[in-house]
Amino acid sequence: MSKHLRTSPTGIPTSAYSWLKWAILAISIVLVAYCMPRESRSHFLYEVNRPWNYSLLTAPFDIPITLDSISAQHARDSIDSRFEPVYTRNILTDKNTVNTVASQIQHNPNVNLSPGECNRLINEIRKIYDRGIVSADTYRDITSGKLNSVRMIHDNTAVSIPTSNYLSARAAYAHLDSVLADQRYRTAIAAIRLPELLTPNVLLDTATTQRMLNESYQKATAAKGMIQQGQRIVDRGEIITPETFTVLQNFEALLAERGQGSTTENYYPILGKVLFLLLLFGALYAFLFFFRRDYFDSPRAMAFIMLMSVGFVLFAFGMGAAFSSGLFLVPFTMVPIILLVFLDSRTAFFTHIVTILCCSIVAAFPLEFIFIQWLAGVMAINSIKSLTKRSELIRTAVLVFLSYVLAYVAIELIQGSDISHHFMRVMGYFAINAVFISFAYILVFLLEKLFGFTSRVTLVELSDINHPLLRELSEECPGTFQHSMAVSNLATAAANRIGANVQLVRAGALYHDIGKIANPAFFTENQHGVNPHDALNPLQSARIVIGHVTEGLKRAEKAKLPTVLRSFISEHHGRGKAKYFYTTWCNSHPGEEPDATAFTYPGPNPQTRETSILMMADAVEAASRSLTDHSPEAINNLVNKIIDSQISDGLHNESPISFRDVRDIKDTFAARLRTMFHGRIPYPEMKKQPASQSAPAPTAEPEPKRSAESSNFNALNDPRQSS
């Protein structure tokens, strides 16, 4: 067979899109390289409660011993809970506000108070300012119990002052209203708009507060000692304690500070990252070019593969930056699971390997990380067959969790580590990871809509004979429906034999003749004694029969069937001829040149192995109905004749099917047809005995009649009737 003609989904040759896949590669490399962690903190790879895997490390310079990050944070939190902010009292605000109130009382005509009452009002306002007015936010902290005291600076000495007497402007107004309950006071207060005049006189000193807080932080987290130059830090095999971990972090931070300003150290790591990613993604491209050329020539497939790989790499970078063991939370096995659903297992496995190798550059222990993720990916690929049931995903999640646990325990035992310190924490990470795998079902649905792929889940749903289109076919064209079911059985058996997509072939076979719903009586399998073609000429009959292809495409589009299923409708006859009517026309018009296009199906010819299988199965099943001789030789001759005729007509030239596939398909069809048309052993007739030889009637109670179920059971278990 000739190679498959590769075109884009729009029908344009993929050579016109060759630049797009290289643009996808360049964008992926730049994006991943840009999102990689900037600082190089991987001079050594180590974790708390894990053994030191390097030789003896001594201090090349003095290293201060500081608190570890957790202890330092606890110290800062303790300071925050006890720290008293610094406030200042503005005496000018007291005087200015009191003077303004006095002036307003004297000159406002709406104030109807005696001099003594005016003095009382002013004195009450002065008392409030003596207590202190603070901002609304500060007063909220006071009433909630967060701020029980503040500090005031007097002669460079901080004095702690309780905040119980402080009021906000609103609280001060309410206090006046309760103390001066007479209506004339309330009228006077409203007339001078006292709430607008009351301004805070006790204010937060932000600069001094922050300075004193930082000083407290520095004292609490100051170095507790010093590792002298040449002093031993850690030796091979020693368990990393939290104190040693902090010293190592300080050591690497000092190394980074001393190395700043070097041009080579700034640019060489970037070039190394780009080269690293170029080699990995280049290997993926090479695999697709040599072994999955149909994916390589499809911009949609390339974008899908790279999106899955790059998307999970970036997600892993983010999780690694957010959590200390964040990589264990990333469900890397979703990459092979989803790729297996839409593509194939080899592509899924290779992409999974590239993804985990990209992420290994940020892993604390790369070899351990690669082994664990590799084993989990292999387990996921072997567990997921077709993802046609939700239970498969649950089973896969459980198996992936077990593979994570066993791989982790194996590595820890090899290294001689004490896994009891962090075993439950890591198991929790693995459990969360396994739960994330269950969301692959949702991701499959979203990606299916985004990229226009058709998953096996969708194919299983479409293969349900209760689908509205199939139900209409069974009601309007019962003969065609039975023909489609028989073709489906033949085609799926052949697809399984040669390793084609069985579920796709099954669904395509069920829908390939839905166009016959428009004119069911014009097709032999639906006729009952009357043939409407007898009243038509061959041209008209051919036009009606050929029209079931275009009519089927219309119905498929209206029912929103996936594009991959529509190809079975258009390609199951290819560019073949309606030979019965073509031959009839030629016999009735001797000497005339026929218009071959009038008897030719619109096509195109089969473009995939699956549509080639359907074309063969459709023709063989239809022709087998006219067989009178059902011997193995007659069936083999029929299968060979039909398929060899299609090959000689060039109908499979554009399909990637091989001659070995054709041989296996022929064998499968012949075996299935022999089973369908096998002979049965004739049942013997019961011979009547003469009356004189008949047995006397029994005197005992007659034997009860056997039920129909009992008779059927005996018939099924009789070896003479089991054929």
Q: What is the pLDDT of residues 486-515, one digit of tens each?
A: 999 999 999 999 989 899 999 999 999 999
H or E stretch at 101: helix 91-107
What is the pLDDT averaged over residues 134-152? 90
Instruction: Output the six-digit token pair for 297.
Output: 């020539």
pLDDT category at 682 given cuts 50, 70, 90 is low
Domain limits, the chain: 14-35+265-451, 86-204, 476-676
The C-alpha atoms of residue 319 and residue 330 are separated, in whole angstroms, by: 7
Residues 6+ positions from 575 with CB-CB distance below 8 Å: 600, 601, 602, 603, 604, 605, 651
Question: Above 80 in pLDDT, residue 159?
Answer: yes
Instruction: Output the six-digit token pair for 92.
Output: 């000018």
What is the pLDDT averaged over residues 309-328? 86
148 closest CA partner among 205, 202, 86, 84? 84
> Residue 14 has what pLDDT?
46
Question: Above 60 in pLDDT, residue 180?
Answer: yes
The C-alpha atoms of residue 57 and residue 47 are separated, in whole angstroms, by: 16
> Residue 5 has what pLDDT?
36
> Residue 376 has what pLDDT?
94
What is the pLDDT averaged over residues 529-539? 84
With beta carbons less than 8 A apart as the criterion, state whether 574 and 605 touch: yes
The C-alpha atoms of residue 575 and residue 598 are separated, in whole angstroms, by: 12
Radius of gyration for the alpha carbons in the chain, expressed in angstroms and rounded: 43
Question: Above 50 in pLDDT, residue 718?
Answer: no
Phi, psi dihedrals of residue 626, rounded to the nearest 5°: -95, 0
Q: Which residues of 385-413 are buried (b: 16+ CB within 10 A; e: fewer)?
A: ebbbeeebbeebbebbbebbbebbeebbe
> Residue 386 has what pLDDT?
64
The C-alpha atoms of residue 157 and residue 88 are separated, in whole angstroms, by: 13
Question: Above 90 in pLDDT, residue 193?
Answer: no
Q: What is the pLDDT of residues 236-253, one digit of tens each?
A: 777 788 778 888 877 877
Distance of CA 455 to the CA centre of its chain: 13
Q: What is the pLDDT of residues 88-134, one digit of tens each?
A: 998 888 888 888 888 888 888 877 788 888 888 888 888 888 999 99
Q: What is the pLDDT of residues 376-399, one digit of tens each?
A: 999 999 988 666 666 788 888 999
Q: Which residue has the higher pLDDT, 485 or 176?
A: 485
Q: Which residues of 173-210 are buried (b: 16+ CB within 10 A; e: fewer)?
A: beebeeebeeeebeebbebbebeebbebbbbbbeebbe
Percentage of the chain exceeding pLDDT 70: 86
Q: What is the pLDDT of residues 2-35, one digit of tens each?
A: 433 344 444 444 455 678 888 999 999 999 998 8
Name the average pLDDT for the chain.
83
The C-alpha atoms of residue 401 and residue 408 are separated, in whole angstroms, by: 11
The C-alpha atoms of residue 454 and residue 445 are separated, in whole angstroms, by: 9
Residues 6+ positions from 302 with CB-CB distance below 8 Å: 20, 21, 24, 288, 295, 296
Question: Above 50 in pLDDT, residue 340?
Answer: yes
The C-alpha atoms of residue 594 and residue 586 are separated, in whole angstroms, by: 7
Residues 6+ positions from 212 with CB-CB distance below 8 Å: 83, 86, 158
Question: Above 90 in pLDDT, residue 375?
Answer: yes
Percentage of the chain exceeding pLDDT 90: 34
Tell me whether the omega of the peptide bond preceding residue 60 falls within 30 degrees of 0, making it cis: no
What is the pLDDT averaged over residues 63-75? 76
Q: What is the pLDDT of residues 542-584, one digit of tens each?
A: 899 999 999 999 999 999 999 899 999 999 999 998 888 888 8
Q: Report the predicted TM-score, pTM, of the whole model to 2 decimal places.
A: 0.61
> HEC string of 412-470?
HHHHCCCCCCCHHHHHHHHHHHHHHHCCHHHHHHHHHHHHCCCCHHHHHHHCCCCCHHH
Question: Above 90 in pLDDT, residue 334?
Answer: yes
Instruction: Output the six-digit token pair for 295.
Output: 């994916």
Phi, psi dihedrals of residue 13, rounded to the nearest 5°: -55, 145
Question: Above 60 in pLDDT, residue 1?
Answer: no
What is the pLDDT averaged over residues 476-490? 93
Amino acid at 259: G
29 closest CA partner among 264, 349, 265, 270? 270
Phi, psi dihedrals of residue 252, rounded to the nearest 5°: -70, -35
pLDDT category at 421 given cuts 50, 70, 90 is low
Q: What is the pLDDT of residues 262-314, one digit of tens each?
A: 444 455 678 888 999 999 999 999 999 999 888 888 888 999 999 999 999 99
The C-alpha atoms of residue 110 and residue 184 are separated, in whole angstroms, by: 10
> Residue 665 has what pLDDT?
95
Give the pairing type, strands 63-65 and 225-227.
Answer: antiparallel
Residues 6+ positions from 411 with CB-CB distance below 8 Å: 368, 371, 372
The C-alpha atoms of residue 615 and residue 351 are separated, in whole angstroms, by: 34
The C-alpha atoms of residue 201 and residue 30 are separated, in whole angstroms, by: 57
Residue 472, judged by CB atoms within 10 A of its CB (0-12, 13-18, 19+), counts as middle
Amino acid at 392: E
- For the chain, the straight-line distance linking the first and the last C-alpha, in angstroms and rounded, comes to 39
> Residue 388 has what pLDDT?
65
pLDDT category at 335 given cuts 50, 70, 90 is very high
Question: Above 90 in pLDDT, residue 361?
Answer: no
Residues 6+ positions from 61 with CB-CB distance below 8 Å: 229, 254
Across 207-211, 412-416, 431-435, 588-592, least confident range: 412-416
Return the residue matching tokens 């032999």: 524
> Residue 290 has what pLDDT?
93
Q: Which residue has the higher pLDDT, 220 or 374?
A: 374
CATH fold of the domain at 476-676 = Hypothetical protein af1432 (1.10.3210)
